[in-house]
Structure 1
Amino acid sequence: MELRVLRYFLAVAQEKNITHAAEKLLVSQPTLSKQLSDLEAELGTKLFIRGHKEITLTSEGDYLRSRAEEIIDLTDKTFTNIQTDQVISGELTLGAGESIGMKRIINVISGITQDYPDVKIHLVSGNADEMESMLNRGTLDFAVLMGERPLENYHYLKIPEMDQWGILMLKDNLLAQKETINPTDLIDKPLLLSAQALQNHRFQDWWGNLGPQMNIIGTFTLVYNAELLVEKNGSYMITFNHLINNSPTQNLIFRPLAPNLFEPITVIWKKNTVQSKVNQLFIQRLKASLDN
């Protein structure tokens, strides 16, 4: 399977029309049609459903599209990162969830882009499982993980900041008058939880035998979207501190859990991988920020 053919395949998947894709690729329509037929023959499966006006992907075609995008992206990135010798340029791709620790990391990245304008940065959002999976596939250079996770398969740096769990609620809520929130305060309250935290039973020890009395009405992956729901229906979101805008016009307020609950923040990258110059620079500067 050649990269050129994968690029042809992606062009047709995007255009949904062989004629338009051929024009975009600057190849003839018969040539493109034959390349696609040869690809289907090579893989032993049908990739397209050829309609009268539009081509759509089969389930196998849709799977190949997602993997082909990763392969092409990784290839292009590798090519870019080895083009230069002395000048630091290329691309740095970092995946992370929402966390106070990102401030330090963004400061490091910002300094690199100011000193080396040819460096391109790609930030990807997601939970720890998604970020670790993308790192292992090679589509991320670094992943930022919140919480305790096995790290023996990675190089890593733990940063000094920690994320604190608490409750996000409306400012005029009675619970907002308290300095901290304990498990009994949340009995029968409509709760929104991080999907990953719920899956990992993160609060099982914290609320103990009161777990059956917790009214979990939904989960979220992005804090901003869940904030809108809290503001709209008066629910309670268990989330990290420092993730909301504390301006005077903000209708929400954060109160930490009691007993306190914190998560460590770790930057990880793959072992046995030759890092590009820009990746090496990121590691050096992140280490330097910890020393300072």
Structure 2
Amino acid sequence: MLDLRVLNYFLTVAREESITRAAEALHLSQPTLSRQLRDMEDMLGKELMIRGPRRITLTEDGLFLKKRAEEILSLASNTEQELRSDDTELNGHIHIGSAESDSVRFIMRTAHILQTQYPALHFDITSGDRPAMMELLDKGLIDMALIYGHVDTEKYEVLPCPATDHWGILLRRDNPLSQKETITPHDLWKEKLIVSNQVLQGDIHGDALQIWIQKPFADLHVSATYNLAYNASLMVSEGLGSCIMLEKIIRLLPEDPALCFRLFNPSLEDRLFIVWKRFQLFSKGTQAFIGLLKQEISKITSA
């Protein structure tokens, strides 16, 4: 059986790319560390690292173990924190995986309300696309995911955010389309476009956007793709194209006149969902946060 202590040794070596430096960081002798790693390789029947004269290189099996070891140690740490938490005071960590969206502001505002009441609570936010966040959620590495698109409600609890997001396009101000108040589908048919990888892969948004544009993406001039909106804004700024994205993901400052954002017409909307696994055993802090989210959403929707 894998030993958590030895997994930590392995990750340290992978990070340092050196047995010598890893041994110093772990306060172990080099022979002791080398023996521990050899014993783990013998137990698994796999070569995990190539020991070169200047640096350690992970094999394919080593890279796989590195990813799994990071997940295992993170889950072990989270579990220990939850078990050690004081029953009389909400504390510990609440782990959230999130897509890029202005609607995340509502979740952070609610987190601030809870943290003001319980200062010992700590919020860990991981950003990424939907597949990455759902993978972390399924492995128990995050408590909840903030995502777009529907999920299996037999497997997950789903709470819709109260805010609505709107689609549009990020443009350079020297683009003729910036003179328009809103953008129609026909405006994009000959435009150089920057589109998220998720949209092109058909994971989310893609069907709704193609229906709105009234053409398949294959018939449009897609000049670049992106995962992170900030990088997409740099692409637009440097002239690679105009970027289809959700409103307010990029904060446009008045003193920066280079870029502008125009909404689609007719309007195209989307909604962020808060998702967690059904029958999940949560820490008291996470339970309180979910309860407060429900209360805050109820206040907004009933107003």
Q: Indicate the TM-score class for this superposition, using the shorter chain for normalisation.
A: over 0.9
Matched, 1:261 2:268: yes
Cα shift readout 1:10-40 (whole Å, capped 9, x = no counterpart): 1222222223322332333332222111111
2:271 alignment partner AA: P
- Tell me how far apart the structure 2 counterparts of residues 45 and 225 of structure 1 sit (CA, whole Å): 39
2:74 alignment partner AA: D
Count of residues paired in the alignment: 292
- Tell me how far apart the structure 1 counterparts of residues 152 and 88 of structure 2 sit (CA, whole Å): 36
Cα shift readout 1:45-103 (whole Å, capped 9, x = no counterpart): 10111122322211111111111011101101110111022121111111111112101
1:181 alignment partner AA: I
Aligned-residue CA RMSD in angstroms?
A: 1.7
Match of 1:228 among 226, 230, 234: 234
2:297 alignment partner AA: L
- Tell me how far apart the structure 2 counterparts of residues 152 and 172 of structure 1 sit (CA, whole Å): 49
Q: In the alignment, what sits opposite 2:147? A: 145
Matched, 1:207 2:213: yes
TM-score of the superposition, structure 1-length normalised? 0.94
Task: Extract unaligned runs of 5+ from structure 2.
Answer: none
Taking the TM superposition and a 5 Å limit, the aligned residue runs for 1:3-152 are: 3-84=4-85, 85-152=87-154
- Tell me how far apart the structure 2 counterparts of residues 22 and 209 of structure 1 sit (CA, whole Å): 59
**Contact 2:200–2:217 (CA<8 Å) still a contact in 1?**
no
Q: In the alignment, what sits opposite 1:163? A: 165
Moved more, 127-136 or 242-251: 242-251
**Contact 1:92–1:119 (CA<8 Å) still a contact in 2?**
yes
Task: Report the CA distance between 1:168 and its aligned residue.
Answer: 1.0
**Contact 1:188–1:213 (CA<8 Å) still a contact in 2?**
no
Q: In the alignment, what sits opposite 1:244? A: 250
**Contact 1:50–1:56 (CA<8 Å) still a contact in 2?**
yes
- Tell me how far apart the structure 1 counterparts of residues 232 and 215 of structure 2 sit (CA, whole Å): 27
**Contact 2:163–2:271 (CA<8 Å) still a contact in 1?**
yes
**Contact 2:170–2:245 (CA<8 Å) still a contact in 1?**
yes
**Contact 2:169–2:244 (CA<8 Å) still a contact in 1?**
yes
Task: Report the CA distance between 1:117 and its aligned residue.
Answer: 2.4
Task: Extract unaligned runs of 5+ from structure 1.
Answer: none
1:289 alignment partner AA: E
1:247 alignment partner AA: L
- Tell me how far apart the structure 2 counterparts of residues 229 and 105 of structure 1 sit (CA, whole Å): 29
Q: 1:212 to 1:53 in 2, by over 3 A?
A: closer
- Tell me how far apart the structure 1 counterparts of residues 14 and 74 of structure 2 sit (CA, whole Å): 16
SS across alignment from 2:238: helix
Q: 1:210 to 1:83 in 2, by over 3 A?
A: closer
Cα shift readout 1:137-168 (whole Å, capped 9, x = no counterpart): 11111100123444331012111212111111
Q: 1:86 to 1:146 in 2, by over 3 A?
A: same
Task: Report the CA distance between 1:113 and its aligned residue.
Answer: 2.6
2:281 alignment partner AA: V
TM-score of the superposition, structure 2-length normalised? 0.91
Match of 2:199 among 181, 197, 219: 197
Task: Report the CA distance between 1:210 and its aligned residue.
Answer: 6.5
Matched, 1:291 2:298: yes
